[in-house]
Amino acid sequence: MPESASPMRFETRAIHDGQDPDPTTGAIIVPVFQTATYVQDGVAQHKGYEYARTQNPTRGALETALASLEGAEYGFCFASGMAAISACMHLLKSGDHVVASDDLYGGTYRVFEQVFRGGGLDFTYVDAADIDQVQGALRDNTRMIWVETPTNPLLKVVDLAAMGVLAADRKILFGVDNTFLSPFFQTPVEFGADLIVHSTTKFLGGHSDVVGGAVVTSRDDLADRLGFIQNAVGAVPGPWDSWLVLRGLKTLAVGMDRHGHNAQVLAEFLEQHPSVERVLYPGLASHPQHELASRQARGHGALISLYIKGDVAGARRLAEATRVFALAESLGGVESLIEHPGLMTHASVPEEIRREKGLTDNLVRLSVGIEHIDDLLDDLKQALATI
Ligand SMILES: *Cc1c(COP(=O)(O)O)cnc(C)c1O
């Protein structure tokens, strides 16, 4: 489990760190501080809280808890995962270059290309599973390496330790979107990541009822700047949303454990199915980076992608025929979801780039929930029988 200043283990920290009982009432649960401002005792004499964009105790509890779970020093919460990623990009300035993985969350690619490129940042996308490609893309003005691992939706695994060494050698920032595995399975700080980002909408919230994001870091200089950006740009989560994520965190460990178990069983089942051409899941021995994945992560998560034998019509039929797996974008909730990346989550990636990368029309992605494994197996069996 992740290193931390706290002597407690992950499961315990998820429930207690940053979450002391409320000192005024003894409430065991951190209250929802639904307030915009705070009364001061005298001019500029306050209790550490001035205005709720800048500080909110509910949000503060979540930030402390998240930093602890990632084994990092500082946490900053945002209104969405995209706002968290954007805050990291605001650390850079016009003329800076970023080397990013070519298989990013579709919204990340979109904000890089359609917002930050216009603001003067430059991006090069490479297969980050190949360290030589990353090294080859570095330039004098490269200021950051940005990866997800496993990637979305092709579940390629990026060597975090090798990337950390490369970034440290070049004295550039190393950012990791850790949404897919959550800190329960993977803590990039161990491998030298400077910035760890989450869409808390996914596993950390865990119940598909909130949108949020977070950045954690152990670097004082980055923390100063991120705190400034969080307040200056103002894309902060409200106290209710912070509270929902805080509640999600308490059961993160049991949830991830079950997500991972269910996904492993389903991936093994799908791999044997005659209607399935290929299954992508890092927990399978057939995954080309199974060994690396097992070395740097403590589990393989809930996302499975599969190529069915056939074309877009078959993929569509599978996605529309499941009954327990709901047809929906997103991932990381207690309920199982199925989607067609080419037509749904990754539709904003230009078609020829999709094709080039292997994001073909027969690709289907599953986010495996924590329902009973037999119901999930039965559902996939009956849905696959329709194609
Ligand atoms: C969902 C997601 C995001 C974006 O998060 P939002 O909360 O939807 O803004 C970023 N990265 C990954 C890997 C995601 O799955």
CATH fold of the domain at 3-250: Aspartate Aminotransferase; domain 2 (3.40.640)
How far is it, in rounded angstroms, from Cα 274 to Cα 251? 37
Q: Which CATH number fits domain 252-384: 3.90.1150.10, 3.40.50.1010, 2.60.40.1120, 1.20.1740.10?
A: 3.90.1150.10
Which residues lie below 8 Å from residue 215, measured CB to CB, with a gap of 6+? 75, 76, 78, 84, 87, 88, 195, 196, 197, 198, 226
C-alpha–C-alpha distance, residues 48 and 57, integer Å: 10
Starting at the edge strand found earlier in the chain, the sheet holding 173-177 runs 74-78, 213-217, 195-199, 173-177, 142-148, 97-101, 122-126
Closest CA to 263 of 375, 367, 384: 367
pLDDT by residue, tens only, the chain of 387 residues: 344 456 799 999 999 999 999 999 999 999 999 999 999 999 999 999 999 999 999 999 999 999 999 999 999 999 999 999 999 999 999 999 999 999 888 899 999 999 999 999 999 999 999 999 999 999 999 999 999 999 989 999 999 999 999 999 999 999 999 999 999 999 999 999 999 999 999 999 999 999 999 999 999 999 999 999 999 999 999 999 999 999 999 999 999 999 999 999 999 999 999 999 999 999 999 999 999 999 999 999 999 999 999 889 999 999 999 999 999 999 999 999 999 999 998 887 888 888 888 889 999 999 999 999 999 999 999 999 998
Q: How far is the CA of 213 from the centre of ligand 1 (A)?
A: 8
User: Ligand 1, residues 181, 202, 203: which to mutate, most atoms within 8 A of Cβ?
Assistant: 202
User: Which atom belonging to ligand 1 lies closest to the Cα atom of 201?
Assistant: 7
42 forms beta bridges with 45
What is the residue with the minimal CA distance to atom 6 of ligand 1?
81
Tell me how far the alpha carbon of residue 38 lies from the centroid of ligand 1, in angstroms: 32
pLDDT given for residue 356 in this prediction: 86
Topology match between the domains 3-250 and 252-384: no
pTM: 0.95
At 323 the pLDDT is 98
What pLDDT, on a 0 to 100 scale, did the predictor assign at position 3? 47
What residue ranges line ligand 1, CB within 6 angstroms? 80-82, 105, 107-108, 148, 152, 177, 179-180, 199, 201-202, 211, 213
Quote the CA–CA distance of 71 and 66 in Å, as a whole number.
9
3-state SS class at 23: coil
- Give the Å distance between the CA of 19 and the centre of ligand 1: 25
Of the CA atoms within 13 Å of residue 164, those in its CB half-sphere come to 15
**Cα 108 → chain centroid:** 11
- Specify the pLDDT at position 349: 80
Beta strand segments in 129-227, E: 142-148, 173-177, 195-199, 213-217
Distances (CA, A) of 342 to 307, 338, 347, 365: 12, 13, 5, 10
Please state the atom number of ligand 1 nearest to the C-alpha of residue 104.
13
Contact 216, 186 (CB under 8 A): no
- What's the 81 CA to ligand 1 centre distance in angstroms? 5
Q: Where are the alpha helices (DSSP H) in 214-323?
A: 220-233, 239-250, 252-272, 290-296, 312-321
Domain positions in the chain: 3-250, 252-384
Degrees (nearest 5) of the Cα angle 361, 362, 365?
Answer: 100
Q: Whose CA is nearest to atom 11 of ligand 1?
A: 105
